[in-house]
Amino acid sequence: AQSVTQPDIHITVSEGASLELRCNYSYGATPYLFWYVQSPGQGLQLLLKYFSGDTLVQGIKGFEAEFKRSQSSFNLRKPSVHWSDAAEYFCAVESTSYDKVIFGPGTSLSVIP
Amino acid sequence: ETGVTQSPTHLIKTRGQQVTLRCSSQSGHNTVSWYQQALGQGPQFIFQYYREEENGRGNFPPRFSGLQFPNYSSELNVNALELDDSALYLCASSSSTGNTGELFFGEGSRLTVL
């Protein structure tokens, strides 16, 4: 069965510092991968997605992610974090069993001014 | 373009009661998925509806049921509420059964079961 792990439950970075959030997936074929962000009290918003092609994908708000098949990873990065980036981040993979999206447990990001 | 709207935003029920949560999908979307998000966890897939038919179900008991209407809006019904049903319930719409695209989420309905 497909699954997603996010090893870091919580990360704290200083404003202006770089960020990398880790994501590993278990999947039998080429996956469709996503990163979503959830701000407090709000629903989830798509940051970026990978379907095929270039393994480095660009998203909204200055985020990017790199798909590495050999490591079964899809890590999210941002070169310079802003205070408004503080939120919960979810990595997700699309299941082939019936088109459902499976989410990881999330990484909570805090930003120090 | 109207986004996904959910109602109610918050509600409190007691064990054994029944609850109905409602979702209006984004304009042009014919697929609705429901997720349960317990505190501090990622969303868990409950089920998906496409053209008024259930199109897949996660690991949830039959007391979780749903409907989709001709206008693609949807309801989630939970019978015989248990304390563990306390969670944020998220509705997401998309444009086809193939979720090879973006899920558009509402802000959720927060259910507290006492």
User: Would you call A24 an interface residue with chain B, using a CB distance cutoff of 8 Å?
Assistant: no
pLDDT tens, residue by residue, B46-64: 999 988 999 889 999 999 9
pLDDT above 90 (res B80): yes
Residues 45-84 of B with CB under 8 A from A: 45, 48, 55-56, 58
Round to whole Å and give the CA distance between B80 and A84.
40
**Are A49 and B102 an interchain contact pair (Cβ–Cβ within 8 Å)?**
yes
Confidence of residue B102 (pLDDT cuts 50, 70, 90): confident
Q: Using one digit for the tens of pLDDT, what is the confidence trace for A16-73?
A: 999 999 999 987 777 889 999 999 878 899 999 998 888 999 999 999 999 999 999 9
Tell me the average pLDDT across B65-84. Answer: 96
Flag whether residue B105 sits within 8 Å of chain A, measured between CB atoms: yes
Whether the CB-CB separation of B12 and B114 falls below 8 Å is answered with yes
pLDDT at A106 over 90: yes
Sheet containing B19-24: give its strands across.
B5-7, B19-24, B74-78, B64-68
pLDDT of residue A98 exceeding 60: no
| Residues of chain A found within 8 Å of residue B41, distances taken between Cβ atoms | 105-106
In total, the C-beta contacts within 8 angstroms joining chain A to chain B are 59
pLDDT of residue B100: 59
Nearest residue in chain A measured CA to CA from B102: A46
User: Hey, are the CB atoms on A43 and B90 less than 8 Å from each other?
Assistant: yes
A103:B35 CB<8 A: yes
Nearest-angstrom CA–CA distance, B56 and B33: 9
Q: Which residues pair with A38 in a beta bridge?
A: A44, A88
Task: Write down the pLDDT at residue A1.
Answer: 72
